[in-house]
Structure 1
Amino acid sequence: MPTPRPVNVVLRALQILRALNRQPVSSVDAIHKHTAIPKSTIVRLLQTLEADGLVRRAPQYGAYHLTSEVTALTSGYHSEPRIVEAAAAPAEALTQELKWPVAVAVHDGDAMVVRYSTIPHSPLSFFHSTINMRLSLVTQALGRAFLAYCGPTEQDALIDLLVRSSGEPIAGQEASIRHMLAQVRERGYALRDPRVRPESSTIAVPIFEETRVVATIGLTWFSSALDAEQAVARFLPPLQEASAEISRQLAATAG
């Protein structure tokens, strides 16, 4: 399908909002200087934005300024959208290089939830889609990589939650779980429990924002194509580099 043409009036309104964001109060002349939009168009769009409560006139300056209503436009942009935005390009580059599908998951209660996947870009995908799929913190690679790198207090709380949860049959296995998590930290990566869908496997690493683990990224392959040792040797370095790049992107958008 051909790419639809952008709606110029919307693009111009966004340009005006960005120009207004440059300084506390802006005149029509200043907005025109920053955007090159005709002054008559600027005035009409400012009036429209004013009617919607995003902009207010400052008569004493003969100019305009943003209102607090513009903050509502960012209320839906929090940790998960930032992670997805930061992860998209590195994850797609990883799949373009290695062909296997890559997923990025974030923590949600007693599980990890897939929020981004390169399945549409991979010729070797296992599922039509994994978006919003919930994954175990104990048996899935994306969950293990997160739980292993949590702070001690958070890890203890999550393990306690899992022990009490009927969905995770791990009562009496706390010692073995903690041993597995220690191995993940020592190795720097997690593998899926081989008893879960043995026809495929996943390797995952944590994604950090500063020193805090905020998500995980993993790559899945057919078990018949590579054994675990071969997969680690081939996939771990580029997966770790992708994680580092996502962390750099998160740092660049912090605040």
Structure 2
Amino acid sequence: MTSFRPVIALSRGLEVLRVINQERQSTVGSLHKATGLNKATIVRMLETLEHEGYVMRRTEPASYAPTGRALLLSAGYDEPTWIGGIAEPILNKFRKQIHWPSDIAVLDQESMVIAHTTRVDGSLLFSRPPGFRFPVLGTSMGRAYLAFCEPAEQERIAARLALSPEPWNDLARNPDKLAKTLRTIRKAGFAVMDDSYSRSIFGGAVWALGVPVALPNRLFGSMNVMMLREAVTPEDGIRRFVPQMKKVASALAEALGAKLAAPGTSSLRRK
């Protein structure tokens, strides 16, 4: 219990900023709907946040968006680090069982970021250290994440990806095809690396399977298994590895959920 009453104005300002950050582009009306605050209060909060440099006002359409300064508020929080630390022993054990490398990754803006990898140092094809960023729609992990995230988040991610010229982002420019692809992935419970990405990055020599790492109420990220095409065909890989991957992903999600539920870890929680 705190020793003082919360500063209501600060609480309201933080809630407005949280919604703007979530919506990416907000209006007074959308903020009113999301927060329940009256519009006059919202306008005062917006003007204060704009004065302090955390939001910017746009005229066409009339709206507010977060600025780069808003990123400073999360400078002390590093989701890939704590997720990677918990995933390390689980994925290392899995690597010994299947003899192919795995990663776990989280979403950051319009890219996936590796939190932990079991790839062997020195391999040119598999060299992707923690912190490495890679595309959502080109990769099995990105596709698995997108298929299992909430519809509103799917729409926001797809809208950003549609602006990028890479061939694997063509899917984002075809909403009907994207929706069908994501439904297929969700039904199967796994995704496969896009062929155009494999050809562009690995010369077609590498392919991968990805599954979500999720609890019923929380999507943490996704994990993969990467293989050489000449050694493991997609048909054989799906048959051999997908059931094991789903079990490992479930264990990862349970371990991450337990960490969040532990005392003293409130700074790791996010909505």
Q: TM-score per shorter chain, which class?
A: 0.5 to 0.7
Q: Deviations over 1:3-49 (max 9, x none)?
A: xxxxxxxxxxxxxxxxxxxxxxxxxxxxxxxxxxxxxxxxxxxxxxx
Q: How many residues align?
A: 180
Alignment match, 1:105: 105
Tell me the SS of whatever aligns to 2:130. coil
Alignment match, 2:190: 189
Alignment match, 1:19: none
Which segments of 5 or more consecutive residues in structure 2 lack a partner in the other structure? Answer: 1-74, 199-203, 266-271
1:223 paired with 2:229, answer yes
CA RMSD between the two structures: 2.2
The Cα of 1:184 is off from its aligned counterpart by 0.5
Q: Deviations over 1:108-148 (max 9, x none)?
A: 11111112110138x98733334322222112101000000
Q: Deviations over 1:177-206 (max 9, x none)?
A: 221111100100000012322211100101
C-alpha distance in structure 2 between counterparts of 1:171 and 1:250, whole Å: 30
C-alpha distance in structure 2 between counterparts of 1:239 and 1:84, whole Å: 17
Tell me the SS of whatever aligns to 2:241. helix
Alignment match, 1:128: 127
Alignment match, 1:149: 148
Alignment match, 2:158: 159
Instruction: List aligned pairs for 1:51-62, cutoff 5 A.
Output: none
Q: Deviations over 1:190-241 (max 9, x none)?
A: 0001232221110010111442212110000011112111101111111111
The Cα of 1:171 is off from its aligned counterpart by 6.0
C-alpha distance in structure 1 between counterparts of 2:208 and 2:196, whole Å: 12
> Do the aligned partners of residues 253 and 77 (structure 1) sit closer, same or farther apart at CA in structure 2, a change above 3 Å counting?
farther
> Do the aligned partners of residues 238 and 247 (structure 1) sit closer, same or farther apart at CA in structure 2, a change above 3 Å counting?
same
Alignment match, 2:89: 89
1:232 paired with 2:238, answer yes
> Do the aligned partners of residues 150 and 171 (structure 1) sit closer, same or farther apart at CA in structure 2, a change above 3 Å counting?
closer
Kept in 2, the 8 Å contact 1:106–1:115? The answer is: yes
> Do the aligned partners of residues 105 and 155 (structure 1) sit closer, same or farther apart at CA in structure 2, a change above 3 Å counting?
same
Q: Deviations over 1:77-101 (max 9, x none)?
A: 6533331122111111111111111
One-letter amino acid of the structure 1 residue matched with residue 128 of structure 2: S
> Do the aligned partners of residues 171 and 126 (structure 1) sit closer, same or farther apart at CA in structure 2, a change above 3 Å counting?
closer
Kept in 1, the 8 Å contact 2:220–2:253? The answer is: no
C-alpha distance in structure 2 between counterparts of 1:243 and 1:86, whole Å: 12
User: Over alpha carbons, which structure has the higher Rg?
Assistant: 1
One-letter amino acid of the structure 2 residue matched with residue 114 of structure 1: I
1:250 paired with 2:256, answer yes
One-letter amino acid of the structure 2 residue matched with residue 93 of structure 1: K
Alignment match, 2:219: 213
Using the size of structure 1 for normalisation, the TM-score is: 0.64
Identity of aligned residues (%): 23
Higher helix share: 2
> Do the aligned partners of residues 151 and 186 (structure 1) sit closer, same or farther apart at CA in structure 2, a change above 3 Å counting?
same
Alignment match, 2:63: none
> Do the aligned partners of residues 252 and 78 (structure 1) sit closer, same or farther apart at CA in structure 2, a change above 3 Å counting?
farther
Tell me the SS of whatever aligns to 2:103. strand
One-letter amino acid of the structure 1 residue matched with residue 191 of structure 2: A
C-alpha distance in structure 2 between counterparts of 1:93 and 1:77, whole Å: 27
